[in-house]
């Protein structure tokens, strides 16, 4: 079965909307640690958080608390900046996923250009590996990015599924073909193949047609459904989609 990593950034977004300047308040809610525990009880295989440079949702203390408490994998998404890298080396998550980051974006808008920034990314991969941290590259499903990721020494790639999720129905098969070819190439290069961005309860069955997936990282859709059914039930429902 494809593994499920649950991104809980949006839980922190809700907290920050009210308690951005009062994170130590006894009234501060919702708690990201409680959210992570609910996901794990429901059967999630890992917890994903993105520590952004502007700290718009997840805070440093969240990452340290999660590292000390969760029982499954901690996947830290981060931009390739010196400050965040130093934090990652202190936290020592199980895995780091390197992503592009634009302060003006609402969410990550595309894949990392590994080929263009190869030298800097290779140095970061080496430093993370020296701390025993696995490294994934969040990339577009393109051959040059896959090849650059493999050459950098990355352990995995997370293919950006945003184009597939947002394209009109008539063109989804074209995007699936592109993802399929990329997943095959990544596997041939010895990379673990994950996917993320825009995956939801309605489109996940189409992605499952592709072989070689290891893990889907899903956040917004699960947290959105949790508003109506609760977080544990929302995670269980997604796991059922992955099994079915």
b/e burial code for range 49-85 (CB count within 10 A of at least 16 → b) = bbbbeeeebbbeebbeebeeebebbbbbbbbbeeebb
Distance CA 146, CA 231 (A): 34
Helix residue ranges per DSSP H, 76-212: 82-91, 118-130, 143-152, 162-166, 172-188, 204-207
Strands 95-98 and 46-50: unpaired
Which residues are known to be catalytic?
A: 50, 77, 197
β-sheet bridge partners, residue 173: none
Question: Helix/strand/coil (H, E, C) string of 192-206?
Answer: EEEEECCCCCCCHHH
Distance CA 226, CA 54 (A): 26
Distance CA 162, CA 3 (A): 19
């Amino acid at each position: 079965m494809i593994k499920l990593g649950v991104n809980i950034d949006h839980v922190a977004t809700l907290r920050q909307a009210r308690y951005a300047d009062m994170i130590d308040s006894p009234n501060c809610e919702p708690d990201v640690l409680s959210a992570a525990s609910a996901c794990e009880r429901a059967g999630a295989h890992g917890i994903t958080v993105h520590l952004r440079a502007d700290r718009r949702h997840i805070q440093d203390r969240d990452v340290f608390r999660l590292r000390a408490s969760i029982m499954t994998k901690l996947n830290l998404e981060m931009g390739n900046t010196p400050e965040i890298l130093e934090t990652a080396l202190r936290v020592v998550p199980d895995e780091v996923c390197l992503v592009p980051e634009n302060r003006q974006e609402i969410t990550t808008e595309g894949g990392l250009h590994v080929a263009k920034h190869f030298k800097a990314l290779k140095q970061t991969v080496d430093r993370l590996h020296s701390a025993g941290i696995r490294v994934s590259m969040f990339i577009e499903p393109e051959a040059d990015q896959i090849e650059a990721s493999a050459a950098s020494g990355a352990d995995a790639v997370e293919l950006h599924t945003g184009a597939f999720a947002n394209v009109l129905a008539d063109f989804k098969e074209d995007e699936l073909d592109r993802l399929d070819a990329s997943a095959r190439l990544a596997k041939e290069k010895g990379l673990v193949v994950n996917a993320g961005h825009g995956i939801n309860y309605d489109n996940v069955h189409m992605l499952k047609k592709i072989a070689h997936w290891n893990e889907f990282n899903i956040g917004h859709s699960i947290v959105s459904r949790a508003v109506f059914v609760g977080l544990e039930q929302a995670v269980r429902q997604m796991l059922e989609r992955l099994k079915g």
